[in-house]
Amino acid sequence: MNKKELKRVDIIFDCANCEPLEIVKKALAMKPDEIIDQIISSGLKGRGGAGFPTGLKWKLAKEEKSDTKYVICNADEGEPGTFKDREILDVVPSKVLVGMCICAYAIGAKEGFVYLRNEYNFLLKDLIPLIEKFNKNIQKLGLDFHIKVFSGSGAYICGEESALFESMEGKRGEPRNKPPYPTKVGYNGKPTVINNVETLVYCTMIVRIGVEPFKKLGTNDSRGSKVFSVSGDTSKAGIYELELGVGVDEFVNEFGNGDTKAVQVGGASGHCVPRKDFKNKIIGFEGIPTGGSMMIFNSSRSMYNVLKDYLEFFEEESCGQCTPCRVGTQQLLKGIEAVKHGEKPSSYLNQLLKLTETMRVASKCGLGQSVHNSFSSIVKNFREEMIY
Amino acid sequence: MVQTENLIQELIKKHGNKRTSLLPILQDVVERERYLSEYAMVEVAKALDVSSAEVYGTASFYTFLYTKPMGKNIIRVCKTISCKMAGKEELVKALEKVLKIKMGETTRDMQFSLTESNCLGWCHKGPVMLINDTVYTEITPEKAVEVICAIDPKHLTNL
């Protein structure tokens, strides 16, 4: 295990020498393939949570032969405990737009969208004029690319890329079957690259500072750094960019307040790490992956309440399209309540664990598939709290 | 009704009459009329040449596209665990008291609707509420009451 010490990094919010149009110019002076090679060799993986290699995604989209291609910035941040994309769009929005431009140039797209969750509409007041100005400026540089904002309407599932396309197409936000993947059949059936807000800023910065400064951070499977949203029982709640591969124990030493019982890494769809595992778990794709949500719980907190909160969330946000997820989320919630109230024996928890396993295998999209993560890690590590 | 008809014509001009225009049109109707009436949904369906069931099916999928009348000020209190840990329940109690309504209800004068919402993305500054597009972070029950009374002073008498 390649465990890293906790190290603060300043790439995402760093604004020194980051004149946006200069970075676009630098990208336009390169060949599209050169840019894609750089992103591939940086080892950058998607920062929204799923961790797909960004350079490969761009390459696949570039190879598609189509007159129409799209670049979409996924700003539908909704995972409980995540708030970094809001901060990035608030503080360094130009760097997000530059990332979209670089991608558009690399894959040959003429149109781009920022899909912004409705809860962040207050950002529009500054974002829309900025985009209008930016569009004009990049035209002047000779890049035929135009960015628009698409506002969401309050549905967590629309953060799932294919549900997001459906939503933009004016339909219910129900995920599609995959394959085909978005790089082949995306928005309006056209090749589409959809990247998380933070991922796009890393692309901007890789072009700006080069591959090496990024690549030397992190581990083999988790290159670079990542922005974390820290909340819960901590006196240091907020947003921090840290090197990937840090041990959970180091994280707790820095952010916990001395009485940390568990850390939920990756929000409701992530994993719960109990105290006994702090020292042998690392935060990264080879350990516990996260879109950035880090919730810290002290020993005074009931993990039953935490799990119940997550299950209520999933039950409400399941799109209802596929049965394992629609029925599964309802039954899990009912099930833990029944065990807690003594209406079912504690052994019923084992049946519920099997149900989450079924959901993991049989659900159509990441929502239903990942309920298993939090459910099994909380129930297995805090079984007594589920019963008594 | 004529008003709704005109509004929809205006929105078609602004967003176009393709299916991809559906969500932006519905969002703007909600912004102006506070909800999507049956009449409005049928008119939108006609304008986009899709069935009204498609329009209703789409609208009812999204939390922010209301299909029943809502107040002028929609209060959304974040109910996710970080905000619960930071005192969301006390905040809700204070709001219910000052507005004289329960969670999920709208005041009789249609000024306020009180709703709960999943993670609003301010977990480090909970509890949090949104009133329309304005965010209030680290909002204590006292501050929340002040905000409500600043919007509509007649609620002062409910204290």
Q: Where do the domains of chain A lie? A: 20-215, 302-388
Count of other CB atoms within 10 angstroms of residue B31: 11
Out of B18, B119, B125, closest to residue A78 by CB: B119
- According to the 3-state scheme, what is the secondary structure of A222-246? CECEEEEEEEECCCCCEEEEEECCE
The pLDDT tens digits of the residues spanning A276-329 come to 999 999 999 999 999 999 999 999 999 999 999 999 999 999 999 999 999 999
pLDDT reported for residue B154: 87
Q: What angle do CA A196, A201, A207 make, to 5 degrees?
A: 130
Out of B22, B80, B121, closest to residue A170 by CB: B22
> Does residue A15 carry a pLDDT above 90?
no
- Residue A243: φ, ψ to 5°: -65, 140
Provide the percentage of residues in chain A whose pLDDT is more than 90.
Answer: 97
* B92, B131 Cβ separation under 8 angstroms: no
CB < 8 Å to B21, chain A: 170
CB contact under 8 A, A82 and B121: yes
Chain A nearest-CA distance from B157, in A, is 31
CB contact under 8 A, B81 and A316: no
CB < 8 Å to B120, chain A: 119
Q: Which residues contact B88 (CB under 8 A, 6 or more apart)?
A: B77, B78, B79, B126, B127
Count of other CB atoms within 10 angstroms of residue A193: 27
- For domain A302-388, say whether CATH 3.40.50.2000 is its number: no
Closest residue in chain A to residue B77, using alpha carbons only: A119
Return the beta strands (E) in chain B as ranges.
Answer: 73-78, 112-117, 129-131, 134-136
Chain A nearest-CA distance from B33, in A, is 16
> Does residue A179 carry a pLDDT above 70?
yes
Rounded-to-integer distance, Cα A363 and Cα A271, Å: 18
- For domain A20-215, say whether CATH 3.40.50.11540 is its number: yes
Provide the percentage of residues in chain B whose pLDDT is more than 70.
Answer: 100
Rounded-to-integer distance, Cα A46 and Cα A44, Å: 7
Out of A238, A309, A319, closest to residue B81 by CB: A309
Chain B interface, mutation test: which of A113, A197, A231, most B Cβ atoms within 10 Å?
A231
pLDDT reported for residue B8: 96
CB contact under 8 A, B85 and A301: yes
Six-digit token pair at A154? 């309050």
Alpha helices in chain A (DSSP H): 20-28, 32-42, 54-63, 84-91, 93-107, 124-140, 161-168, 197-209, 211-215, 248-255, 303-317, 323-340, 348-362, 366-381, 383-387
Segment B94-108 shows an average pLDDT of: 97
B interface residues, A as partner, C-beta within 8 Å: 18-24, 26-27, 48, 57-58, 61-65, 76, 80-82, 84-85, 117-126, 130, 133-135
Q: Can you tell me which residue has the tokens 């099930």?
A: A335
B1: confidence class by pLDDT, cuts 50, 70, 90? confident
Q: Is the ipTM of this complex over 0.90?
A: yes
CB < 8 Å to A122, chain B: 133-135
Out of A173, A233, A317, closest to residue B118 by CB: A317
Segment A346-374 shows an average pLDDT of: 97
> Does residue A2 carry a pLDDT above 80?
no
* A3, A247 Cβ separation under 8 angstroms: yes
CB contact under 8 A, A168 and B122: no
A3: confidence class by pLDDT, cuts 50, 70, 90? confident
Six-digit token pair at A167? 């939503």
Segment A234-248 shows an average pLDDT of: 97
Q: Which residues contact A1 (CB under 8 A, 6 or more apart)?
A: A280, A282, A287
Q: Which domains does chain B have, with CATH numbers?
A: 2-59 (no CATH), 73-158 (3.40.30.10)
CB contact under 8 A, B123 and A118: no
> Does residue B94 carry a pLDDT above 80?
yes
CB contact under 8 A, A172 and B24: no
pLDDT reported for residue B157: 78
Segment B99-113 shows an average pLDDT of: 97
Chain B nearest-CA distance from A262, in A, is 14
Segment B54-74 shows an average pLDDT of: 96
CB contact under 8 A, B119 and A118: no
Q: Which residues contact A312 (CB under 8 A, 6 or more apart)?
A: A333
Give chain B's length: 159
* A102, A223 Cβ separation under 8 angstroms: no
pLDDT reported for residue A1: 61
Six-digit token pair at B77? 């209190």
3-state secondary structure (DSSP) of residue A102: helix
Segment A231-239 shows an average pLDDT of: 97
- Alpha carbon distances (Å) from B142 to A20, A110, B92, B124, B145: 43, 50, 11, 20, 5
> Does residue A17 carry a pLDDT above 90?
no
